[in-house]
Structure 1
Amino acid sequence: MEERTITVTTKAGITRIALNRPEVMNALNAAMRHDLTAALRDLPEETRCVVLTGTGRAFCSGQDLGDATAGLDAERILREEYEPMLAAMTEAPVPIIAAVNGAAAGAGANLALAADVVIATESASFVQAFSRIGLIPDAGGTFIIPRAVGTARAMGMMLFAEPLSAGQAAEWGLIWEAVPDAEFAAQVERRAAVLASGPTRSFLAIRKALREAAGQGMSEQLALEARLQGEMVRTADFAEGVAAFLQKRPARFSGC
């Protein structure tokens, strides 16, 4: 029987994708990378927010070291399997919340950090475990982490390969928030509902502006802001937002 590496459900505009190999702490094998990439590339039409989480006690333990396709073929796997998966994350047409329900290690940590918003249980942890087996961080870790927390903290995380608690990750600005375990599911639901009912095109433009900012000077970024804002003021959501403000009522965004 073929392994079901992820599960996908959609309700009220929220598509939930759960990594589904709990027996190996949701370690990434070739099938999971393919399935996750495909799911993100072919989201249901009604999707306005994605929640990515793990099944069982972990979010994702990283590369499955028992995967027969791994090993010395690492460069090919990173270029042909990890890069498309991470591109599908960053290019998704709707915001992605990584709901980190437990340990996120190695490539699993960096998969979570590639999301737009990371919400973790207080009992969760993030670890750049690569140096423990003589590797370097991959799956975007050397790009994402120093930009979020600075080179000094990124270097310590990667050289010492020690777990970083969710609380510390939130204090450092690596993730959005750490939530008490008992409140985690409800908080993720609340956050996802806000995004699913919000101005989808505005969210997409915000994500684009922030992602491009790191590689641009001020004048280039101001030009990008002006172009994107010019597009936003012509949307139905902008018209609805203004009307709702003037009428002193909640906005009913359509995502258009």
Structure 2
Amino acid sequence: MTSSILVDRRDGWILLTLNRPDRLNSFNDEMHRALAAALDEAGNDEGCRAVLIAGAGRGFCAGQDLSDRVGKDGPPDLGYTIETFYNPLVRRIRALRKPVVCAVNGVAAGAGANIAFACDIVLAARSARFIQSFAKIGLVPDSGGTFFLPRLIGDARARALALTAEPLAAEKAEEWGLIWKVLDDDKLMAEAEALAAHFATQPTQGLAYVKEALNASATNDLDTQLDLERDLQRKAGRTPDYAEGVKAFMEKRPASFTGRAK
């Protein structure tokens, strides 16, 4: 049986490919479990200093595989599905102590779009489309959609996308600040892989502290955030990579970061 998640270990980073192209990489329970296991493995692997998530075939991810919910007795408990699979996935991505890059090709719909937005840096092919498709079937944006959208693009645009389920072109998503960069379709993966490879050479612990600070800023007040910055800077200043970075700067040479905490 073909794996629903392809794991490609590179030099210092890992490419995770959603691999159900015949279903536009929509999620079923098996794919959720495989992706969770792959992310946990990446998180525990000191040799992995960045993760790139991509989709096989003509689309990134169409969200939940609705056929997986058809034919069951009575209405499905979608809250159970979210609590068991989608919420832990978003939390894994946000908490991973290394950069997570997402390369979106083709459609990113429903939870597929919001999982992309949970990543640290999103690159998209020019042909990509982001769709909050939940309203079309009477559902609520999940996988962090109601959290990420207002913060990334403002309340007015978030409400319009969520209530109309209107597709958003990649170039407009970039213009609005929803994603980092749009690329020609044939250049997407090369640039995404180059970015992941770049992060594999950077001060991984420092980047983890950056993620921690940015994650907390969504709910902290200024005083709390200032205190957090102080505490994280204290930790960062004690890492070998900080010492190496300063030494390399003084010696006018490229730094050689290990990514290690000690």
Question: Which residue identity lines up with residue 49 of structure 2 in the other structure?
Answer: R
Name the structure 1 match of 2:55: 54
**Structure 2 residue runs without a partner (length 5+):** none
Kindly indicate whether residue 208 of structure 2 is the aligned counterpart of residue 204 of structure 1: yes
**Kept after mapping to 1: 8 A contact 2:97/2:211:** no
1:1-256 equivalences under 5 Å are: 1=1, 3-43=2-42, 44-68=45-69, 72-256=76-260
Q: Deviations over 1:159-192 (max 9, x none)?
A: 1111111111111111111111122122112211
Q: How far 1:81 sits from its partner (Å)? A: 1.4
Pairs aligned (count): 255
Note closer, same or farther for the CA distance 1:182–1:163 as it changes in structure 2 (3 Å cut). same
* Alignment partners' CA distance in 2, 1:220 and 1:45: 30
Residues 52, 193 of structure 2: 8 Å contact kept: no
8 Å CA contact 2:141, 2:162 repeated in 1: yes
Q: What SS does structure 1 have at the residue aligned with 2:48?
A: coil
The aligned amino acid for 1:80 is T
Matches of 1:40 and 1:186, distance apart in 2: 22
TM-score (norm 1): 0.97
Superimposed CA distance per residue, residues 42-90 of structure 1 (whole angstroms, 9 cap, x where no aligned partner): 1244110000000001000011000048852201111111111111111
How far, CA to CA, are the matches of 1:168 and 1:82 in structure 2?
A: 26
The whole-number CA distance in structure 1 between the counterparts of 2:78 and 2:4 is: 21
Question: Percent identity, aligned pairs only?
Answer: 44
Q: Secondary structure at the match of 2:67?
A: coil
Contact residue 103 and residue 192 of structure 2 kept, 8 A:
yes
Residues of 1 paired with 2:29 and 2:47: CA distance? 28
Partner amino acid, structure 1, of 2:112: G
Distance of 1:76 and 1:184 partners within structure 2: 35
Contact 1:34–1:85 under 8 Å retained in 2: no
Q: Distance in 2 between matches of 1:162 and 1:7?
A: 31
On the 8 A contact 1:95/1:116 being kept in 2, the answer is yes
Measure how far apart 1:7 and its partner are: 0.5
Structure 1, unaligned runs of 5 or more = none
